[in-house]
Copies of this chain bind each other. A is one copy, B any other.
Amino acid sequence: MQMDERKRKILRAIVQDYIATAEPIGSRTIARKFDLGVSPATIRNEMADLEDMGFIEQPHTSSGRVPSDAGYRYFVDCLLDPQSISDEEKELIERESSKRIHEIQEVISHTSRLLSELTNLTSIVLGPQRGKSTFGKMHFLPYQPGQVIMVIVKENGTVENHIIDIGENLTAEELQQVAGVFNQKLRGYSLGQVKRNMLHEIYNELSRQRHLIDNALDMLREILDDNEEGERIYLGGTLNMLNQPEFKDLGKVKTLFKVFEENESLKKLLQPYHEGLNVTIGGENTLKEFKGCSVISAAYKVNGLTIGAVGVLGPTRMDYGKAIAIVDFMTRSLTGILTKRR
């Protein structure tokens, strides 16, 4: 069967109306609401065709039709005219972005909140990956007797500090010496790349400060560890889901929020972040809990390097045009802000 212009119009009408009302729509209503110039009977025939083609389906024998996953897919791929974000939205984003923000975490969580507010969906933002970070520089600062503050600057620019025990008291010079050796040997390496012989060299050069070195390496292992939970997930507007009629059932809410609680699964939603913008519709999701949901996601970059992803999650019946426009804009905006910072 072939897709002609009238079928396209009808499919678009069905999707748009269902997105707006969440109610199955019948031929009569389509004829009334959308001025297609044909009678309900004709539309009925076309709808039967569309159902055969798999684009729409009937919840039960005598009710209107709703789009199938394939229907949404066709809508997104072929029927959606590119939409840009409204001026108010743009202004809101600009206003928010202009606030003085110091921490990269703040930028991310801001983005997350903004995304969910603008789309009325749930936003998912994958923070910068820790995993692949490499050692940049290390400093020691005095803290308490027997303890020092170890400040680690990673090569991606993030800074972390941790308090570690140094065993016997060391002088400032000795500390500086330790830091110097670490900085010289490890700069640019991730934990996985640290070879045995480097450690040997460090131990050799600094035989006296063994205790400090052990603790420092321990801590470094945690900070740089590839296996670490790593990238934090920022969720925003999870409550928006509750406003969707598809989640008026408490059981669904439970399973949904259960997944929200465990970050690992969420990462999978954004995971295969290809270049550009991704739309994953309903059953295309790998997680069974999200078979009824769609995800719009895109990766963001710092200095041309993809380091995380942002996305929105909602029922398959979501306003794809708007969501796509906003995710796209926010990704660019985030990339811009982060790139400017250093």
Contact = CB atoms under 8 A, between A and B. Distances in A.
A103 interface: yes
A36 interface: no
A248 B257 CA distance: 15
A143 interface: yes
A162 B253 contact: no
Contacts of A239: 254, 257-258, 261
Contacts of A254: 239, 242-243
Contact of A159 (B161, B219, B242, B342): B161
Nearest to A138: B141
B153 A151 contact: no
A312 to B, nearest CB: 17
Given A219-B102, A239-B254, A261-B239, A151 B144 contact: no
A1 interface: no
Contacts of A102: 162-163, 219, 222
B242 A253 contact: yes
Contacts of A161: 151, 159-161
A239 B254 CA distance: 7
A250 interface: yes
Contacts of A258: 239
A150 to B, nearest CB: 10
A244 to B, nearest CB: 11
Interface in A225-249: 238-239, 242-243, 248
A151 B162 contact: no
Contacts of A103: 162
Contacts of A151: 141, 149, 151, 161
Nearest to A102: B162
Contacts of A160: 161
Nearest to A341: B163
A103 B164 CA distance: 11
A139 interface: yes
A342 B153 contact: no
A242 B342 CA distance: 45
21 contacts: A102-B219, A102-B222, A103-B162, A141-B141, A141-B153, A143-B159, A144-B342, A149-B151, A149-B153, A149-B159, A151-B161, A159-B161, A159-B163, A239-B254, A242-B250, A242-B253, A243-B254, A248-B250, A250-B250, A250-B253, A253-B253
Given A102-B162, A143-B153, A239-B261, 6 more contacts: A102-B219, A102-B222, A143-B159, A149-B151, A159-B161, A239-B254
